[in-house]
Amino acid sequence: MIKNLKRVLTAAALAFIPVTVSPPVHAAETLPLGAAVHHLETADESREGYTRDKFRHWNTGQNPTDGCNTRNEVLIAEAVEPPTVGPGCRLTGGTWWSYYDATTVSGPSGLDIDHMVPLAEAWDSGASAWTAQRREVYANDLGAPTSLVGVTARSNRSKSDQDPGTWMPLAGEVHCQYAAEWTATKLRWNLSVDPQEQAELLDLAEQCPATEVHFELAP
């Protein structure tokens, strides 16, 4: 009888213990390029209401105390030869490889940080429905190594806000890589593709049968 009473009291006490629910952990996935493209929703695009300032960037990056904004954190992470990091995260020296146009760049001033899926394209593809906070997270995404990429200013400006349906890197040998990274970014952020974009990606998938897409859903 006493044992049974203890069990009842213990169960009642446990019922009032607050339960902490951890946020879901999204496992990384790998798919062949063609299968990955088919996972993307197809939808028409609309740029209505878009302005670049709806995506706040560059912010203080992963470590707000080190003085390095997102741009500089990408440059430090992608450097072939590391730059010198001075007071206020001022970068000098260093070299980088701009894979869009197969060009070596000396010094950080010759580089742009490209959003793999441009901000305007993200807006067209679903980000228009996001909160301002989520758009800021997207614009400063350091959680995936392919979301932001250091490239020459000329290649970034040639690309502008175009998708693979109208623009691909000058260096033809990287088209498979570019298609995979574009698709991975769209999957990571649950962004759609328009019919022309999808057709180009599927055509590239046929040309790149060994290419895989690695992605993890954004938190």
pTM of the complete model beyond 0.85: yes
pLDDT, residue 5, reads: 39
Q: Is residue 11 part of a domain?
A: no
Position 26 scores a pLDDT of 65
Side-chain-side CA neighbours of 106 within 13 Å: the count stands at 0
Position 23 confidence tier, pLDDT thresholds 50, 70, 90? very low
3 assigned to some structural domain: no
Residue 141 inside a domain? The answer is: yes
Query: Which among 60, 46, 175, 153 is positioned nearest to 107, based on CA atoms?
Result: 153
Q: Is the pLDDT of residue 97 over 70?
A: yes
Per-residue model confidence as pLDDT tens digits over 114-171 = 999 999 999 999 999 999 999 999 999 999 999 999 999 999 999 999 999 999 999 9
pLDDT at 9 over 90: no
- 5 belongs to a structural domain: no
For 55, residues 6+ apart whose C-beta sits below 8 A from its C-beta are 119, 122, 123, 127, 135, 136, 138, 139
As for how many domains the chain has, the answer is 1
Distance CA 96, CA 99 (A): 9
The domain of 160 spans 28-215
Asked whether residue 7 is assigned to any structural domain, the reply reads no
Instruction: Tell me whether residue 188 is in a domain.
Output: yes
